[in-house]
Amino acid sequence: MAVISFLERPRHTDHLRLRDGRTLTVRFVGADEGEALQRYFRNLSMGSRHSRFLGAMSELPPSELGHFLHVGENNRFSVLATVITDGRETIVGEARYGLEAETGRFEFGVSVDDLWHSQGIGSALIGNLECRAAALGARLMFGDTLRSNETMISLARKLGFAFARHPDDWKLVRFEKPVLSIAEEIPCASWRLVAEQRALEAAVV
């Protein structure tokens, strides 16, 4: 998939309902949001940053930040989860995901602002990623986390992921889940866009 243009990005935005009735917006990161993304990572607790990056890191290195901001580059994407607080958009979570087209494997990583834990944001974000994975044609989605990250392990188990040994690092555990086709409803914008494209192709044929 080619890099998604600035004009196409809003079409992949989703609005989800949280437990307290707030709206959680999941959208691609903007090319001009590097400082906002770095500020989000800096504001995470040391433990949350360690869990997200599987090691010590205070912020993204410039080269890695560039990858985060280039949506669709090498079939890798970054999204922000935001809510409106006091009339302003606030980043409360993020996710990075990518597809191996040859194998149909969809890898992802997520984080949630420490002040926004226990609001259902992690569950909503991963559920949205599952739909985005289906839209990309993925067959399996997986993530890696530290064995000590009980919060992520508990969430993954709750969401139906199975666990396996990490192939390269004993300190990590891998969680994975088959990606099911979505037939009865269209829960995310990316899937709707794919459905529209397939309908157009069928009409041409």
Q: Could you tell me if residue 3 is inside a domain?
A: no
Q: Could you tell me if residue 14 is inside a domain?
A: yes
Q: Could you tell me if residue 174 is inside a domain?
A: yes
CA 164 to chain centre: 21
Mark residue 104 as left, alpha or beta (left: phi above 0; alpha: psi -120 to 50; beta: remaining). Answer: left
Q: Could you tell me if residue 44 is inside a domain?
A: yes
Q: Could you tell me if residue 51 is inside a domain?
A: yes
**Most confident region among 52-56, 66-70, 95-99 by mean pLDDT:** 95-99
Predicted pLDDT at 199: 67
Task: Please say whether the beta carbons of 116 and 82 come within 8 A.
Answer: no
Give the pLDDT confidence of 129-184 residue by residue, as tens digits: 999 999 888 999 999 999 999 999 999 999 999 999 998 889 999 999 999 866 55
- Domain holding 92, by residue range, is 9-204
Q: Could you tell me if residue 4 is inside a domain?
A: no
**Structural domain count of the chain:** 1
Q: Which residue has the tokens 């192939």?
A: 167
Token pair of 128, please? Answer: 């949205």
In angstroms, the Cα distances linking 114 to 43, 47, 121, 189, 204 are 9, 10, 11, 27, 49
Task: Check which CATH number belongs to the domain holding 128 and give it.
Answer: 3.40.630.30
Angle, nearest 10°, between helix axes 62-69 and 34-43? 120
Q: Could you tell me if residue 27 is inside a domain?
A: yes
Give the pLDDT confidence of 60-93 residue by residue, as tens digits: 889 889 999 988 888 899 999 999 999 999 999 9
Token pair of 2, please? Answer: 């080619």
Predicted pLDDT at 2: 43
Q: Could you tell me if residue 181 is inside a domain?
A: yes
Phi, psi of 168 (to 5 degrees): -125, -20
